[in-house]
Structure 1
Amino acid sequence: METDISIRLTTLGHPQRLAVFRLLMRRYPDRVPAGELAQALDIKPSTLSAYLSALMQAGLVTQDRIATSLQYSIAMAAVNQTFDYLFNDCCRGRPDLCAPAPFARSPMTQPKYNVLFICTGNSARSIFAEAILRKEAGDRFNAYSAGTLPRSELNPFALDVLRAKGHDISDLSSKNVNVFTGPDAPAFDFVFTVCNQAANEECPAWSGQPVSAHWGMPDPVKATGTDAEKSLAFQGAYGALANRIKLFTALPIASLDRMSLQKAVDQIAQSPSEI
């Protein structure tokens, strides 16, 4: 056991191997193609291959072949084993010394939870999520959305879907994620990325370490074809997010500890697109 842990820590001691590991953690439980990793981190494919090989040898990353693509994901059992060892052996299981404050705190029981949805353009998917959560459970949640590279206006197809579904769109707007990093910004309890590109980027370190998850899905803005075909792509994105948000709002948040809650929101990412 100690040998395995030592190898894992040594492997993560390399800054760029650590960067690959951190990106895959942000994308968990996704399997990410090697080409996407190389592009997101600006690493040559040959160099990335060496980093991934080292991470796999350490047992921290798994590889799957999907058709002709090699895809990679976090080996979460090994990661948990590593942290368990550090906490139980090195820290002697003392939460007062080693456990980060968010993990040591009791379940969240405040009257209303703040939730932020992030994508790149903040013109469709994250806007859908914000509007759906407000409509589904606005009495329990404050919903917000933002983009890492926000567009100047909301996508017209997205607005058509929201109007058809009976949403109030008067307060919806595209905004930069930096809007929510100042001293007057709300303290978030949950942060969800809903597009792969946003999850690949380094987002701000949110104060209080909110529960976070990646609920990635295809970008309907990239749909091609007739207007009817494009509209169908937006309807699909809306339906997938509506399903996930219904599962999220059904969680007994006040009775779950942080680790159970994290596992639950990660599992929602694997839910089907329709109920």
Structure 2
Amino acid sequence: MEYETTDQLATLGHPQRLMVFRMLMRRFPDTVPAGELAVQLDIKPSTLSNYLNALQRAGLVRQERLGTSLLYSIEMTNVQHMLDFLLKDCCKGRPDICMPSTQGAKTMPDRKYNVLFLCVGNSARSIFAESILRSLGGDRFNVYSAGTQPTSELNPFAMQVLADKGHDTSALRSKHMSEFAADGAPEMDFVFTVCNQAANEDCPAWEGQPISGHWGMVDPVKAMGTDAEKSLAFQNAYGALKRRIEAFTSLPVESLDRIALQTAVDDIARTPVEDMQ
């Protein structure tokens, strides 16, 4: 185990390999196409291939093939073993030394929880998620949404879908995520990204170590065709988010410790939305 960990740490000691590893960690449990990694990280495909091969040899990343595409994801079991070794050996099993703010074994406090949904534009998918969770779980959750690069207006197709579903849209607005990182902002218990680009971005760490999840889906704003075809794309995005949020609201949040809760959130991300019907 010590030799394996030494090799893994040496692999992560290279700044660009660490950058690839960090992006895949942010996208966990997603599998990410090599081409997307190359574009997002601005790395030549041949160079990226070398980095990914090194991470694979160290057991930190795994590769899957889908047709002609190569997809990559974190080999989380091995990563956990590496971190466990550091905690047990280097820290002598004392999380108060190496991870003073860790609360993994504790359950969430029994109160109303703060949830933030992030996207890039904060004009459709994150607005959908905010509205759906407020409708399904407003008695248990304070719900917010924001964007990494918010637009000035909410998407009219998204607003029409929400109105047709009976949601009150009067208080909705596009917001920058910095509003929720400022002094006096509510401390988040959960932070979900609902688009891949937002998950790819290196966002600052949130106060309080919130449970995080990534529910990436196709951007309905990019739908082409007639207004009816565009409207259908927004309807599909709304339905997919609703099924994930229904699964989330069914979790016994107050009775799960943080590790079990994070696992449950990751399981929701892994489950195809069609299997949630």
TM-score by length of structure 1 reads 0.97
What are the equivalent positions in structure 2 for 1:108-147 lying under 5 Å apart?
Answer: 108-147=108-147
Could you tell me which residue of structure 2 aligns to residue 157 of structure 1? 157
SS in 2 for 1:152: coil
Could you tell me which residue of structure 2 aligns to residue 232 of structure 1? 232
Could you tell me which residue of structure 2 aligns to residue 7 of structure 1? 7
Q: CA deviation at 1:208?
A: 1.1
**Structure 1 residue runs without a partner (length 5+):** none
What are the equivalent positions in structure 2 for 1:145-184 lying under 5 Å apart?
Answer: 145-184=145-184
Q: CA deviation at 1:104?
A: 4.7
**Is 1:46 the counterpart of 2:46 in the alignment?**
yes
SS in 1 for 2:184: coil
AA aligned opposite 2:125:
R
Could you tell me which residue of structure 2 aligns to residue 77 of structure 1? 77
How many residues of Structure 1 are paired with residues of Structure 2 in the alignment?
275
SS in 2 for 1:209: coil
Deviations 1:67-91 (A, max 9, x none): 1111110001111111111112222
SS in 1 for 2:149: coil
Please tell me whether the aligned partners of residues 102 and 208 of structure 1 are also in contact (alpha carbons under 8 angstroms).
Answer: no
Q: CA deviation at 1:273?
A: 2.2
SS in 2 for 1:267: helix
Deviations 1:95-118 (A, max 9, x none): 222234233562112411100000
Comparing 180-189 and 105-114, the one that deviates more: 105-114
Could you tell me which residue of structure 1 aligns to residue 202 of structure 2? 202
Q: CA deviation at 1:16?
A: 1.1
Could you tell me which residue of structure 2 aligns to residue 241 of structure 1? 241
Q: Decide whether aligned partners of structure 1 residues 166 and 102 sit closer, same or farther in structure 2, where only a CA change above 3 A counts.
A: farther
Please tell me whether the aligned partners of residues 102 and 258 of structure 1 are also in contact (alpha carbons under 8 angstroms).
Answer: no
Question: d(CA) in 2 for partners of 1:104 and 1:29?
Answer: 19
Q: Decide whether aligned partners of structure 1 residues 90 and 76 sit closer, same or farther in structure 2, where only a CA change above 3 A counts.
A: same
Q: CA deviation at 1:224?
A: 0.9
Question: d(CA) in 2 for partners of 1:187 and 1:265?
Answer: 19
SS in 2 for 1:101: coil
What are the equivalent positions in structure 2 for 1:206-225 lying under 5 Å apart?
Answer: 206-225=206-225
Q: Which runs of 4+ in 1 moved over 3 A?
A: none
Could you tell me which residue of structure 2 aligns to residue 35 of structure 1? 35
Q: Decide whether aligned partners of structure 1 residues 100 and 75 sit closer, same or farther in structure 2, where only a CA change above 3 A counts.
A: farther
SS in 2 for 1:117: strand
TM-score by length of structure 2 reads 0.96
Q: Decide whether aligned partners of structure 1 residues 139 and 185 sit closer, same or farther in structure 2, where only a CA change above 3 A counts.
A: same
Q: CA deviation at 1:215?
A: 0.7
- Measured on the aligned residues, the alpha-carbon RMSD in Å equals 1.2
**Structure 2 residue runs without a partner (length 5+):** none
Question: d(CA) in 2 for partners of 1:179 and 1:253?
Answer: 26
Question: d(CA) in 1 for partners of 2:51 and 2:15?
Answer: 10
Please tell me whether the aligned partners of residues 146 and 174 of structure 1 are also in contact (alpha carbons under 8 angstroms).
Answer: yes
Question: d(CA) in 1 for partners of 2:147 and 2:191?
Answer: 12
Please tell me whether the aligned partners of residues 157 and 234 of structure 1 are also in contact (alpha carbons under 8 angstroms).
Answer: yes
Question: d(CA) in 1 for partners of 2:238 and 2:269?
Answer: 15
Please tell me whether the aligned partners of residues 104 and 259 of structure 2 are also in contact (alpha carbons under 8 angstroms).
Answer: no
Q: CA deviation at 1:45?
A: 1.3
SS in 1 for 2:199: helix
Query: Identity, % of aligned pairs?
Result: 66
